[in-house]
Structure formats: C-alpha cells, structure tokens
Amino acid sequence: MERNSGNIRILPAGDQALVAEFGDKIDPSINDRVQSLASNILESKVRGVTELVPTFRSLLVCYQPSVIGYEALRETVLLLAGHPDTAISAQRRMLKIPCCYGSHFGPDLADLERYTGIDRDEIIRIHSGADYRVYMLGFLPGFAYLGGLDERIAMPRLATPRVKIPKGAVGIGGNQTGVYPLESPGGWRLIGNTPLDFYDPNRKEPVLCRAGDIIRFFPITSADYYDIRRMVAQGSYHPEVEIF
C-alpha cells in the first residue's frame, strides 16, 4: 500500500525493500533530500537495513524482514527524512577528472560544433568549466548520471546507438553528461575520453564516485592521456579530491 506523509511518499518494493520518493522531477534540492536521507540512515545504523540505492528523486531501502518490519522501517525513514541536511553537505566530495577532448577520443565533437554553432575550443571550455552533480549510478557499474550540463552544449542522443563505445568515453546525452565505465553499446555523443577507471573490480572501492559527489573535468593532451593511463595501470595515479 502506498503511504503519503507530507511531501515524501513511501511505497513497498516487494517484501524486502521500500522506496522513499521526494518528487517527480530532476532537481538539485530533491536530490539533496535523497542524499541526506541515505546519509542519515547510514549514520543512524538502522538495524536490518542491508542496502541503499539513491536515484534522482528517490531512495530504495533494502532490509531484512526478520530484523525490522515494514511499518517500523517506514516510521524510521519518515523520522530520518525530517532531519536537516547537515550530514550530506558536510561530506560532499569533488573529484577532478582529466579528459582528452576531440580527435579519435571525441568523434562527435565536430557534430556538436555544427549542431550548436559553437567552436570546439569554446565547447571544451564550457564543458570543463562546470561542476556536475552525480545524481545517481546506473546502466553500467560505475556509470554516473551527471547533471549541470550547460544548455548551450546540450544535444540529442544518436538516432542509432553505437554497438561499441570505448571505456572512459565522455559523452553528452540530452541535457546530461557522463563517462562510460566499461566498453558497451550506447547512444550518447562522444566528445572526449578520460584515462581514469570509473569502475575497477580489483580496487577496494570498485566504483570511483558516489551519488552526491561533484565531478569537474579538466582538459589534457593526448600525451597526458597516455601518461596518466600508464600511471593508472601501475596504481600510482589518483584523482584530486576536495571535501567541501
């Protein structure tokens, strides 16, 4: 049964999860509430909770029914959702990500120039000059859906998706940008590539970023790309991280 309480909606998701919904659109203030609730649940160490999956506008809370029942968890979630957003604001990270734009790394950059009427140097300046919020992870392990793309360089996805997109490809899809963590099919417009691994199952933390993080790209040359790629393979390169 669906339950509403104020501006949060609680819905069961099978017999071992519930969903807390905060709205029906992509909005930074809504996503702040999602991240804050996730942080508050973790900080409170709610018994029986096994996994949290944040999305653009909702939080999936998985639990063990033998430890905590649905109604008890629902009341706990409602209580924690009412807490101020201090936890998430105090723990936000910014990751600085190198990106080699254009050439064979960004085969759609020329199409983006024609579509927007903006030359590639300005496109690169605009793309690397913004801070992107990681709204959620999905589609592939470590694929971060990044909001905050300047509308001047927004562009529709390809009419026919590519069968194979290389790992590390940086693309634009509509009003979002993102990084392909693995080689896969996809329809986003490719403008560059990062030498970093957004997903590495051999790392202690396989996924490079978390929902709620901020990503900032910075341009590098092709020579820089291969140098950094070698260091990544050796385990000697790590992205610069700021906490704010």
Task: Report pLDDT digits (tens) over 16-69.
Answer: 999 999 998 888 999 999 999 999 999 999 999 999 999 999 999 999 999 999
Q: Please report the pLDDT score of residue 91 as a whole number.
A: 65
Dist CA 71 CA 120 (whole Å): 55
Dist CA 95 CA 98 (whole Å): 10
Which tokens hold the place of 65? 């029914």
Which tokens hold the place of 121? 């140097």
Tell which residue, 124, 97, 127, has the closest CA to residue 195: 97
Q: pLDDT tens-digit profile of 133-191?
A: 999 998 899 999 999 999 999 999 999 999 999 999 999 999 999 999 999 999 999 99
pTM, entire model: 0.85
Tell which residue, 157, 159, 168, has the closest CA to residue 232: 168
Higher pLDDT, 104 or 2: 104
Q: pLDDT tens-digit profile of 206-235?
A: 999 999 999 999 999 999 999 999 999 999
Residue 58 CB-half CA count within 13 A = 15
Helices (H), 171-218: none
Residue 218 CB neighbour total at 10 angstroms: 11
Q: Please report the pLDDT score of residue 82 as a whole number.
A: 81
* 3-state secondary structure at position 224: helix
Q: Report angle CA 74, 78, 82 to the nearest 5 degrees.
A: 165
Cα dihedral across residues 188, 189, 190, 194: positive or negative:
negative
| Enclosing H/E stretch for 225 | helix 222-234
Dist CA 74 CA 10 (whole Å): 7
Average pLDDT, the chain: 92
Is the pLDDT at 90 greater than 90, yes or no?
no
Dist CA 195 CA 224 (whole Å): 9
Cβ atoms of residues 34 and 134 within 8 Å: no
